C-alpha cells in the first residue's frame, strides 16, 4: 500500500509540471506507483473521431502506445467519455465479458498483461478533445482503493494542466505579437516609467545599433536633441503614459546626420502584482520612424485635407522632408521670401505655427507600417 506521506511530494511534483510540462514524464511515474497500477499515461481523445494521442506515459511498451494512436483508440471502452473529474473503470463503461471478447482487450490490453484501467477526464477546455489520465491495473481489477488514491490527485492534475494551457496560450500570443512587431519597418520600443527598454522589435534594435537618432545609455533610451529627450522623459515619468497620449502625442527628432524622424507615444496598461507596480513593466510604447510621406498619394491626402495649393504642398513637404526655409529654397529653386510666403499660408490653413508642428502633423498621415 503506498505511503500517505508520499502524497504531498507527489502533489508538489504535479504543480511543478504545471509550470514545466517536461516534468510530466516523472509525474506519471509517481502517479502510477502511488495509485498502484502497472502503467500510467496522459492522453487526449477526440470524442468524434475517437482518435487518441498519448502525451506522457510510463510502464507501457512504446510499440503499444503507437498502436493505440494508429488503431486501437477507436476500439477502447471510452466510447462515451465520463464527466470531468469522475473516475471510471472498464466495468463502469461496458459489459466486461463483451469487452474481453473485443479487439481492444484481445490485441492491446491482454498482450501487455493488463485487464482493467481507471480513467478520468482531467482537462476539458477543448470539449471535443479533452485530456485524460489512465492507470492500467495489471491482472487484477481496479478496486475502490485505487480509485480513492487516484481521486486524491485528480484536482491537482487538473489545475496543473490548466496552468499548462494558460502559459502556452500566453507564450503563443507573445510570440505572435513579437513576430508582428518584427515585421514592421518602424522601430517599436516598450519602455518603463524610467525609459528603460523592456522590449524592442527588430527595427528598433537596428536603430539602436546605428547609434544615431536614439541610443541606449545604462539601459535607458536616449533621444538625440536635449529638448526631444526631455519630452520623452516627461512623457514616461511617474506611473506611466497618460491615456490622452493615445490621441497622437508625437515628438519630432532630428538625427546628428540631419535626418528627420518622428516618435509617437502610446500608453500601455501597467501590469500590477500584489497591488504594486513592478519597475520592469512597460508603461508605454514608442513608435519611431523616419519621416517619409511615401509619395504623391500622401501629398494629395494632405492637400485635400487642408486645401493646399500645389505650391503650398511642395513647400509643406519640403519643410518636413528636407529642412527649414534655406534648405527648401535650395531644394525647390525658389527665393526664401517665396518659401516664407507659402509657409505662412500653410501655417494658416493647418492651424500650426512652427515647422516642428508640421512634422508632427505630417506624421499623422504617414503609414507606420512602411518606411
- pLDDT, tens digit, 9 for 90 and up, residues 50-64: 788 899 999 999 999
Q: DSSP readout, 51-73? A: -EEEEEEESS-HHHHHHHHHTGG
Residue 169 pLDDT: 82
Identify the structural domains of the chain with CATH numbers, from first to last: 6-172 (3.30.450.80), 185-290 (3.30.450), 296-363 (1.10.10.10)
**121-125, 144-148, 149-153, 269-273: segment of lowest average pLDDT:** 269-273
In this predicted structure, the answer to whether residue 246 has a pLDDT above a threshold of 60 is no
Tracing cell 494629395 back to the chain, one arrives at 300
All cell numbers assigned to 187: 522601430
| Selected residue with higher pLDDT from 199 and 292 | 199
d(CA 200, CA 215): 12
In this predicted structure, the answer to whether residue 157 has a pLDDT above a threshold of 90 is yes
**173-177, 200-204, 216-220: segment of lowest average pLDDT:** 173-177
pLDDT band at 146 (very low <50, low <70, confident <90, very high): very high
d(CA 333, CA 69): 77
Long-range contacts of 73-77 (CB under 8 A, 24+ apart): 73/45, 74/50, 75/102, 75/103, 75/104, 75/108, 76/52, 76/104, 76/108, 77/104
In this predicted structure, the answer to whether residue 277 has a pLDDT above a threshold of 50 is no
- pLDDT, tens digit, 9 for 90 and up, residues 338-366: 999 999 999 999 888 888 888 777 766 66
Amino acid at each position: 500500500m503506498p505511503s500517505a506521506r508520499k502524497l504531498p511530494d507527489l502533489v508538489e511534483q504535479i504543480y511543478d509540471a504545471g509550470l514545466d510540462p517536461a516534468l510530466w514524464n516523472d509525474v506519471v511515474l509517481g502517479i502510477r506507483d502511488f495509485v498502484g497500477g502497472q502503467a500510467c499515461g496522459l492522453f487526449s481523445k477526440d470524442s468524434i473521431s475517437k482518435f487518441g494521442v498519448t502525451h506522457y506515459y510510463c510502464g507501457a511498451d512504446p510499440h503499444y502506445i503507437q498502436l493505440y494512436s494508429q488503431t486501437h483508440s477507436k476500439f477502447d471502452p471510452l466510447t462515451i467519455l465520463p464527466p470531468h473529474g469522475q473516475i471510471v473503470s472498464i466495468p463502469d463503461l461496458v459489459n466486461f465479458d463483451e469487452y474481453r471478447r473485443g479487439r481492444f482487450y484481445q490485441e492491446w490490453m491482454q498482450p501487455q498483461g493488463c485487464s482493467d484501467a481507471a480513467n478520468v477526464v482531467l482537462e476539458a477546455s477543448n470539449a471535443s478533445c479533452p485530456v485524460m489520465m489512465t492507470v492500467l491495473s495489471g491482472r487484477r481489477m481496479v478496486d475502490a482503493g485505487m480509485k480513492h488514491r487516484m481521486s486524491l490527485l485528480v484536482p491537482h492534475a487538473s489545475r496543473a494542466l490548466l496552468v499548462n494551457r494558460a502559459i502556452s496560450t500566453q507564450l503563443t500570443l507573445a510570440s505572435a505579437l513579437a513576430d508582428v512587431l518584427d515585421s514592421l519597418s518602424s522601430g517599436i520600443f516598450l519602455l518603463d516609467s524610467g525609459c528603460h527598454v523592456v522590449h524592442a522589435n527588430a527595427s528598433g534594435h537596428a536603430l539602436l545599433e546605428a547609434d544615431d537618432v536614439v541610443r541606449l545609455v545604462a539601459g535607458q533610451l536616449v533621444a538625440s536633441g536635449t529638448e526631444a529627450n526631455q519630452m520623452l522623459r516627461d512623457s514616461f515619468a511617474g506611473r506611466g503614459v497618460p491615456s490622452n497620449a493615445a490621441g497622437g502625442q508625437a515628438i519630432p527628432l532630428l538625427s546628428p546626420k540631419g535626418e528627420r524622424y518622428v516618435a509617437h507615444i502610446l500608453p500601455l496598461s501597467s501590469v500590477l502584482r500584489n497591488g504594486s507596480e513592478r519597475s520592469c513593466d512597460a508603461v508605454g510604447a514608442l513608435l519611431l520612424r523616419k519621416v517619409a510621406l511615401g509619395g504623391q498619394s500622401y501629398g494629395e491626402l494632405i492637400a485635400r485635407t487642408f486645401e493646399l495649393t500645389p505650391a503650398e504642398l511642395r513647400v509643406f513637404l519640403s519643410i518636413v522632408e528636407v529642412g527649414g526655409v534655406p534648405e527648401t529654397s535650395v531644394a525647390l529653386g525658389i527665393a526664401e521670401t517665396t518659401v516664407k510666403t507659402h509657409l505662412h499660408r500653410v501655417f494658416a490653413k493647418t492651424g500650426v505655427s512652427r515647422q516642428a508642428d508640421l512634422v508632427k502633423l505630417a506624421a499623422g498621415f504617414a503609414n507606420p507600417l512602411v518606411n
